[in-house]
Structure 1
Amino acid sequence: MKNYKAIGKIGEGTFSEVMKMQSLRDGNYYACKQMKQRFESVEQVNNLREIQALRRLNPHPNILTLHEVVFDRKSGSLALICELMDMNIYELIRGRRYPLSEKTIMHYMYQLCKSLDHIHRNGIFHRDVKPENILIKQDVLKLGDFGSCRSVYSKQPYTEYISTRWYRAPECLLTDGFYTYKMDLWSAGCVFYEIASLQPLFPGVNELDQISRIHDVIGTPAQKTLTKFKQSRAMNFDFPFKRGSGIPLLTTNLSPQCLSLLHAMVAYDPDERIAAHQALQHPYFQEQRKTEKRAVGSHRKACFPEHPVAPEPLSNSCWISKEGRKQKQSLKQEEDHPKRQGPAYAMELPKLKLSGVAKLSSYSSPTLQSVLGSGTHGKAPVLRPLKCIPASKKTDPRKDLKPAPQQCRLPTIVRKGGRY
């Protein structure tokens, strides 16, 4: 840490504290996540889930960038040097009197769904999606704090007490650790509503109150859903039927498409809950997809113009042998001639003309050697005239390619001592 200068404290959690640091090497500012736990070896550090996850997920425009891992073997302290962001979602909406515009909400939620889609495709689910862990810098949203993440393919059951209570999915509350990556979508739906209304959707005081608040809004789940939950719960439970009041419309700027996506993200049954890649294709994000498509198209036009300047043709060099390199200058002059049209080399083989002298490549095949005479004193060989074949015999043009038997005679064999 001698390469960094502490500027101030940003925040503190249960397992770490975050400091604003300035690098003495490049002068840039970073966020330093100092772990409170002490580590004994580099292997223990490398096995940390958060480090493994950030290394696997980086780089991505909506995932917090990990710049450096600093480990002191003597003291056992560990620090993660990450990208410094301006604020988190909680700081953005805290104390705000008027809600954000739906365009801004749509922009942030599209980026959040892209980050969840990326981590789920890479076999990781976050397990602690909440406004404090969603960071913003210049309208760019990034998901951070992967200290609670797990592998999608790891064996259940998982830790029961996971995720902040207000954003905890029903399967995390009603089972003994049997939940999947779909819990991240429930949490994202709660964040979705909180960004739009500036109020938490399910602000439970404890776990029982959390379930009660969910039932007040969504209603009690279907019997098949409860049966699935009971199979992975040691304690039996039943709830009185409640229809639910529906998601409260505390703000008037929510479109029907917005409410449709919100209901799909907070579906009670995780099997019926929308996935991140499906959410990205929801009609609510239609304008975001068009904007992204236009940006990709303009980037491609900048990199690959419609009428690019033709570079100097290099394909002819593949057909020039070491002995025929002297022909390059004459070939280049012919290619640069303004009246010349067509490709740099013939697309079809021209008819063979036997008049004049031609230079041969050092890679001439044996079949041509039977027709060509040997050169003298380093000069190009002269083509021998070919015999004319009557037209009546040219029934198959492939037969003309076969060499005459007289041209493929084997040398005479001399007997020596009665052995060949």
Structure 2
Amino acid sequence: MGTSQRRPEPREAYFDYKAIGKIGEGTFSEVMKMQSLRDGNCYACKQMKQHFDSVEQVNNLREIQALRRLNPHPNILTLHEVLFDRKSGSLALICELMDMNIYELIQGRRHPLSEKKIAHYMYQLCTSLDHMHRNGIFHRDVKPENILIKQDVLKLGDFGSCRSVYSKQPYTEYISTRWYRAPECLLTDGFYTYKMDMWSAGCVLYEVASLQPLFPGANELDQISRIHDIIGTPTENTLAKFKQSRAMSFDFPFKKGSGIPLLTASLSPQCLSLLHAMVAYDPDERITAHQALQHPYFHQQRATEKQALASHWRKATTFFPKHPVAPELLSSTWQTPKEGQKQKQPLKQEKDHPRRPGPAYLMELPKLKLAGVTKLSSYSSLALQSVLAPGANGRVPLLRPLKCVGANQKTDAQKDIKPTLKQRRLPTVDRRGGGC
């Protein structure tokens, strides 16, 4: 299991792992640190608390389907194996083991991370969201606990709440952790889109930058009240969109909003611009993940990525030149002869030109001119001409089966043709295993 599989199928292999310790526990699962007895590596094992009856039910699990579709990606948690015990009905997902999550990274810190580090992490988060949304999936539970870190590499995990962007609304209302829940999730009866992930990402951005949550509501009403205290009440047009998808009507007193707290005075104006675009109240006006990657805040990250890509291509062209012509293949021995001239040098044996390692280069082989060989285009069979020639009425007669003659017998037409080819006896070909 050293390499990750594109589509890991469920199998019974609990005996291949031993538990080392407990990492965390949720409502529907618990995460254990496991060591593989086959390769000795440690993995994160997400043990489901739900009972499963069949392999089909396991394969239909949204989290497994999402990870299979999104893997492999540098910013998506890698699914290595799916373990399913038919007898007990237990299911476990073997994923790569990360060092910590974002919440553990910022918990207890006295000073926030540098803005360069924040931009580095947020660029990777937006990259994972863009890849996910492009593949028709939205997460619905983006929060610091589900964003994992290992050696400065960020990966999004825990796809247990994900849904397809093409699935039919309404969705579950009480989705996502309350502090990171978008207004459309709070004010509608399950009518929201993938844009909710961007709201949650904006809340994460603020929390990483200030070490404090942006909207720490105690309940649903307190949550929407805290949003209005900072952002202000939405416009009538925005509220009208929400009211169309809400059985119970609501009205809010006008509130201007105090604005995002200036606990992040050290952040650049570009960072604050991106933050405001992420937490736009109206989801139609909220920035997408793809647009966020093009924001001026990530200028340095894009330049670094472009430089790394250019370096990769430079290394690639070292082995695969732009015009792949091997000089040694264009020596005088293999020069293409001009039309109507014979080769000046005979072809050497295979042992004189050993096969060279590396990529094969496309080139035009020299035209071979063997003495005594007549061009096929100049050879015409009189027997075929007599059969295919049109009759007196201008119609081509029907083909009739040819009469077989002996090996030493020749037709009159064949006797008139002077043989130009010397008869050679071909050696027998030994075939291995009956293959062609």
Q: CA deviation at 1:369?
A: 8.1
Instruction: Please state how far the C-alpha of 1:301 moved relative to its aligned partner.
Output: 1.1
The residue that corresponds to 2:284 in the other structure is: 271
Match of residue 390 from structure 2 = none
Aligned to 1:84: 97
Map 1:16-415 to 2 at 5 A: 16-305=29-318, 311=326, 313=329, 328-329=347-348, 358-359=369-370, 364-367=375-378, 375=420, 377=422
Would the aligned equivalents of 2:373 and 2:420 in 1 still touch at CA under 8 Å? no
Instruction: Supply the distance in 2 between the matched residues of 1:260 and 1:8 (Cα, whole angstroms).
Output: 42
Q: Is the 8 A contact 1:204 1:213 kept in 2?
A: yes
In the alignment, the residues of structure 1 paired with residue 297 and residue 376 of structure 2 have an alpha-carbon distance, to the nearest angstrom, of 66
CA contact (8 A) 2:336 2:365 kept: no
1:389-413 deviation line (CA, Å, top 9, x unaligned) = xxxxxxxxxxxxxxxxxxxxxxxxx
Between the aligned partners of 2:104 and 2:230, the Cα distance in structure 1 is 26
Identity, % of aligned positions: 76
Structure 1, unpaired ranges of 5+: 335-342, 350-356, 380-420
Q: Distance in 1 between matches of 2:177 and 2:371?
A: 79
Equivalent position amino acid for 1:199 in 2:
Q
CA contact (8 A) 2:143 2:180 kept: yes
> What letter matches 2:286 in structure 1?
R
Unpaired stretches in structure 2, ≥5 consecutive residues: 1-13, 338-342, 354-361, 382-417, 425-436
TM-score by length of 1: 0.78
Q: Which TM-score applies when normalising by structure 2?
A: 0.76
From the superposition, tell whether residues 365 and 150 of structure 1 become closer, same or farther in structure 2 (CA, over 3 Å): same
Letter in 2 for 1:329: K
Q: Is the 8 A contact 2:184 2:191 kept in 1?
A: yes
3-state SS of the aligned residue for 2:242?
A: helix
| 2:213 aligned partner, one-letter code | P
Alpha-carbon offset, residue 81 of structure 1: 0.4
Distance, in Å, in 2 between the alignment partners of 1:330 and 1:374 is: 30
Q: Determine the C-alpha separation between the residues in 2 that align with 1:124 and 1:253.
A: 35
8 Å CA contact 1:101, 1:253 repeated in 2: no
Q: Closer, same or farther in 2 for the Cα pair 1:359/1:17, shift >3 Å?
A: same
User: What does the per-residue CA deviation read over 1:324-354, in whole Å, with 9 as the maximum and x for residues that have no partner?
Assistant: 9x954299999xxxxxxxx97599x9xxxxx
- The whole-number CA distance in structure 2 between the counterparts of 1:362 and 1:20 is 75
Structure 1 distance, partners of 2:225, 2:315, is 55
Q: Distance in 1 between matches of 2:47 and 2:104?
A: 21
> 1:71 is paired with a residue of what secondary structure?
strand
The answer (yes or no) to whether the contact 1:69–1:81 under 8 Å persists in 2 is yes
CA distance in 2 between partners of 1:264 and 1:234 (Å): 29
Structure-2 separation of matches of 1:361 and 1:169: 85
